[in-house]
Amino acid sequence: MEKKNNGLTKVYHQKMLLVAGITFGSIGVLGNFVLWALSKKLPVHIAISKGQYVIGNILRYDFYTFISEYRLGAIWGMLLVFLLVGIILLVIRFRNIVKIKRNSLDENE
């Protein structure tokens, strides 16, 4: 039994891939931007050590030290996954559109 609205479901599927890709990608980009901006505003104490002894303590604005100091590694990892999923969904959508256009060009010839 064939579906009557096969063309409509393909269009709907492509739009949903676009919306989901933009949404996931935007969450990933905006979240990483917020973490980066916070890392530039909140200084982190870094211990300077020589051997086993701590000889000083400095304030520094560093992204990776900020992530580890405030234990934001899981959130940062989740935001990177959101960004990656968004990019993958947009690439899948782009490939499907190219395939659909290529098939329609082949049918017209």
Render pLDDT for 7-61 as a digit per residue (tens, 0 to 9).
668 788 889 999 999 999 999 999 999 999 999 999 888 777 777 776 777 788 8
Q: How far apart (Å, rounded) are the C-alpha atoms in residues 12 and 48?
A: 57
Render pLDDT for 46-61 as a digit per residue (tens, 0 to 9).
777 777 776 777 788 8
Rounded to two decimals, the pTM is 0.78
DSSP for 55-67 reads: EEEEEE--HHHHH
Burial (CB count <10 Å: 0-12, 13-18, 19+), residue 60? exposed
